[in-house]
Amino acid sequence: MYKSNVKINYHGFHPSEQARLFVESIIHEIQHELPQGARVKATFSRKDEVIKGVLQVGSYAGPFFSVAASSSLRDVTVKLLEQIRRRLDKWKDKKHGRASRQLSGLKDFMRLDFFKDDFGKDAI
């Protein structure tokens, strides 16, 4: 995924280089699981001692988002990853479940029994 499809904002604080690299690595990990061409926006804001993170994904499959808060940027980032993975897994299950139901209906239609008459002989 292109870097232009990713935007990370920090409000109310400046993370250390190590923390920033950790966040980028998690976002990179998420990118590999997203539908192709998805746009990712992560926003981290700090108020008092609480860091709130919001992860928004826009894709052809629809929007995905997650929200988390903690006193640690690392914890917030991991929570965002876990939440977005759960949402993606639900989407994948729904997508593949629908496809497998369609295929099973087609398999029923294409059964050879369909072409037999009442006496079990080929009607064709």
Looking at the domain that runs over 3-84, which CATH code has it been given?
3.30.160.100
pLDDT tens per residue, range 56-108: 998 887 788 899 999 999 999 999 999 998 988 888 888 776 555 555 555 55
Task: Give the confidence band of 9 by pLDDT, cuts at 50, 70, 90.
Answer: very high
How is residue 28 written in tokens? 């990179």
Going from the C-alpha of 26 to that of each of 6, 8, 111, the distances in angstroms are: 12, 12, 47
- pLDDT for residue 110: 47
The mean pLDDT of 15-44, rounded to a whole number, is 90
pLDDT tens per residue, range 99-108: 555 555 555 5
**Helix (H) or strand (E) segment spanning residue 124:** none
